[in-house]
Amino acid sequence: MSRRYVSAGRCAWPGCPVTARRDCLMCARHWTALPKRLRAPAWEHYVPGQDLATATPEYREALAAALDYARRANADAGRQAALEAEMRSRQGTLW
């Protein structure tokens, strides 16, 4: 079972535990979270079955741009969560 999990490939979004379809870079949720300008080149250059050793430079560039966006989105989400936690703890002391 774990072998199958590995061959299916995990979503490329940093920190995402979801298994992506074998011919997909990311799970459906994160793929649609990518802006179209990043999705288009990643899709255009994606070759099913390729890995980092066989990928074209164009694909690597598209992938790097997508992951860069994902990391920034994750950082924003982390900041937002920290802010909300702080607001909650402040409310806790007020009430």
- The residues near 10 (Cβ < 8 Å, ≥ 6 apart) are 16, 17, 18, 19, 20
16 binds Zn ion (CB under 5 A): yes
Residues β-bridged to residue 19? 10
C-beta of 16 vs 73, nearer to Zn ion:
16
User: Minimum Å distance from CB 17 to Zn ion?
Assistant: 8
Using CA atoms, how far apart are residues 76 and 83, in angstroms rounded to an integer? 11
Among 2, 7, 15, 18, binds Zn ion (CB under 5 A): 18
Among 11, 34, 42, 63, binds Zn ion (CB under 5 A): 11
